[in-house]
């Protein structure tokens, strides 16, 4: 029995997870930096660029991305057989 296709699939799946995670981590970082910038603007101005609704929606998106990042990291750790908790 040849295990090469299984190994190739596993390596391909690990690479896909790494790529998705890398992209989402970058997106999460950019969104966090935007939120910090908007918070600084809000503190120094009489108005806010983002309404409370938009700021809340952005925070919800950050939470969703963070959860997906964690889930993908757990899948990646399992596939790569990294030491668990």
pLDDT by residue (tens digit) across 3-62? 667 678 888 888 888 998 999 899 999 988 888 887 777 766 666 666 778 888 888 988
Listed as own residue / partner, the contacts of 52-61 with beta carbons closer than 8 Å and 24 or more positions apart are 58/31, 58/34, 59/35, 61/31
The total of structural domains in the chain comes to: 1
Contact 24, 64 (CB under 8 A): no
Does any domain span residue 85?
Answer: no
Which pLDDT score is estimated for 76? 87
What are the counts of helices (DSSP H) followed by strands (DSSP E) for the chain?
A: 2, 0
Q: What is the pTM of this model?
A: 0.67
Q: What is the rounded CA–CA span in Å between residue 25 and residue 58?
A: 15
CA atoms within 13 A on the CB side of 30: 6
Which pLDDT score is estimated for 82? 67
Q: Output 62 or 85, whichever has higher pLDDT.
A: 62
Which pLDDT score is estimated for 39? 76
Range of the domain at 13: 9-79
Does any domain span residue 4?
Answer: no
Does any domain span residue 40?
Answer: yes
Chain centroid offset of residue 30 CA: 10
Q: What is the rounded CA–CA span in Å between residue 50 and residue 78?
A: 39
Does any domain span residue 37?
Answer: yes
């Amino acid at each position: 029995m040849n295990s090469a296709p299984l190994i190739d699939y596993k390596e391909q799946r690990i690479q896909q997870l790494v790529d998705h995670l890398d992209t989402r981590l970058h997106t999460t970082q950019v969104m966090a930096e935007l939120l910090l910038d908007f918070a600084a603007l809000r503190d120094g101005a009489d108005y806010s660029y983002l309404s409370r609704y938009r700021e809340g929606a952005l925070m919800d998106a950050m939470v969703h991305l963070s959860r997906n990042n964690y889930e993908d990291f757990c899948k990646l750790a399992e596939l790569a057989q990294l030491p668990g908790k």
